[in-house]
Amino acid sequence: MNILETVSVQCPSCGEVMELQVDCSEGSQELTEDCPVCCKPSTIAITISDKGISSVEILP
C-alpha cells in the first residue's frame, strides 16, 4: 500500500469536492479541513486498515 493516499470528500455545506492527502502510516485519524469555496471546516474521520483506507466519513 502507499503511505500517502489521496481521498476525495464532498463539502457538506456547498458540495465542493476536496482532495486530501492522508498519511496511512499514522493509522485511523480525524482531520479538520476548511473548504476552499465556502471556508466552513469539515471534520473527516478516516479509518485505515492494513490494506489502506477502508472508510472515509464526514462527521456532522
* Site of interaction with Zn ion (CB under 5 A): 11, 13-14, 16, 35, 37-38
Is the CB of 11 or the CB of 22 nearer to Zn ion?
A: 11
Is the CB of 35 or the CB of 46 nearer to Zn ion?
A: 35
- Residue 56's nearest CA partner among 17, 7, 18 is 7
Residue 5, strand partner residues: 22
Spell out the residues 6+ positions from residue 41 whose beta carbon is closer than 8 angstroms to its own: 32, 33, 34, 35
Minimum separation from the CB atom of position 16 to Zn ion (A): 5
Is the CB of 13 or the CB of 55 nearer to Zn ion?
A: 13
